[in-house]
Amino acid sequence: MPDRYAVFGNPISHSKSPLIHAAFARQTGADLQYEALLAPLDGFAAAVDAFRASGGRGANVTVPFKLEAFRYANDLTERAQRAQAVNTLKFDGARVLGDNTDGVGLVRDITQNFGFAIAGKDVLLMGAGGAARGVLLPLLACQPASLTIANRTPQKAIDLAQHFAAVGAVRASDYAGLAGDRYDLIINATSSSLNDALPPLPPRLFVPGALAYDMMYGKGLTPFLAFAEANHAQTLADGLGMLVEQAAEAFYEWRGVRPETRPVIEMLRKS
């Protein structure tokens, strides 16, 4: 019997995770089965219970269940604890380890795939939802010169900055307050691109050589990336690499083997 893994979400049919993990399994010679499972909006815990009872070894968790997965786990990694959200579960008897691999996925994509060093750079993180929360600890661990969180609802950015104040220097702002600032790296962790919208960014935010990163993927040139291009950002990136890198970290957590991500990113780009 192959080892069983799954991704839980609602909706879930769009998920690329089964493709990604099947590619990792082929590459590493792992005998596993990975499926996308739709959990009812009010039935996440029961769906995971049933999966574990049928032999499930681990799971990824996506929208809207990352908070519920955080509560479901009975042991947490530090990054999951800080993020207060879980996207990876590992089952070992009664122990359920919850991890959050989104942040390390983002950082690996930026530093390894794009060859962009975060250390010593001025970084702007747009958004204060689950995705922003998940990436703050790994971003701060890279020791940027500064990290600013900007959000449409400013109080949420203030709360997030306070929550991470013990980890590193992080400040909060509204969008108007960014006027006159300059950044080496701007990350869009809002869901604005989903609706073809753009947060109200002032012009001239990018320094020469800057990287603009939109966590959204599969949408081509999003309004944020078009804004970045028009404002002379040097490199434009979407979130496909982050998606594959967070999956690779989950795979490593489950199997103890680190798959190669570059061929999988290329395969997804072609498809």
Give the catalytic positions in this structure: 66
Per CB under 6 A, residues contacting ligand NDP are 102, 127-132, 151-153, 156, 189-194, 197, 199, 215-217, 239, 242-243, 246
Select 52 or 192, whichever has its Cβ closest to ligand NDP.
Answer: 192
Strands (E), the chain: 3-9, 32-38, 56-61, 75-76, 88-92, 95-99, 122-126, 146-150, 170-173, 183-188, 206-214, 235-237
Select 52 or 150, whichever has its Cβ closest to ligand NDP.
Answer: 150
Contact criterion met (CB below 8 Å) for 125 and 156: no
Select 14 or 31, whichever has its Cβ closest to ligand NDP.
Answer: 14
What's the min distance (Å) between Cβ of 39 and ligand NDP?
17
**Residue with the shortest CB distance to ligand NDP:** 129
What's the min distance (Å) between Cβ of 166 and ligand NDP?
22
What's the min distance (Å) between Cβ of 171 and ligand NDP?
16
Both tokens of 270, joined, read: 């072609």
Q: What Rg, from alpha-carbon coordinates, does the chain have?
A: 18
What span, in angstroms and rounded, lies between the C-alpha atoms of 61 and 68?
9
Both tokens of 256, joined, read: 């103890």
Select 52 or 151, whichever has its Cβ closest to ligand NDP.
Answer: 151
What's the min distance (Å) between Cβ of 106 and ligand NDP?
7
What span, in angstroms and rounded, lies between the C-alpha atoms of 55 and 4?
7
